[in-house]
Amino acid sequence: MSDILQPGQNVPLFSAPNQNGETVSLSHFEGKWLVIYFYPKDDTPGCTTEAKDFSAKVDDFSKLGASIIGVSTDSQKSHCKFIDKHNLTITLLSDPEHQVADAFGVWRLKKFMGYQQ
């Protein structure tokens, strides 16, 4: 587990499969704006709201030259179901070994009622 990325730091290089099994790498976005967000689980209330909100604003981001990518440890199959169920228009990356999340320093043990799980 690394430290959380701080403002001004370079984004770590990454590659991971999207919902369609295509490899997506940071290099695909060279010279462009990229919004990367990490979330715990497909089809949970908060994560669904976040993905639907990003999907609703995808055209606004696109007009600014920005792409949106969501990253979770869910499988490509899970991502496809999530996208279909909620008509999402964003790219979701599958990171089951949390390599991308580790590179960004966002993989942490979950705390519940003060206890780590």
Q: Which residue has the tokens 């909100």?
A: 53
Quick one: which of 18, 17, 36, 37 has its CA closest to 92?
18
Which residue in the list 16, 24, 36, 47 is annotated as catalytic?
47
Quick one: which of 51, 68, 50 has its CA closest to 60?
68
CB 38 within 8 A of CB 50: no
Q: Is 80 a catalytic residue?
A: no
Instruction: State the Cα–Cα distance between residues 41 and 92, nearest whole angstrom.
Output: 11
Catalytic residues: 47
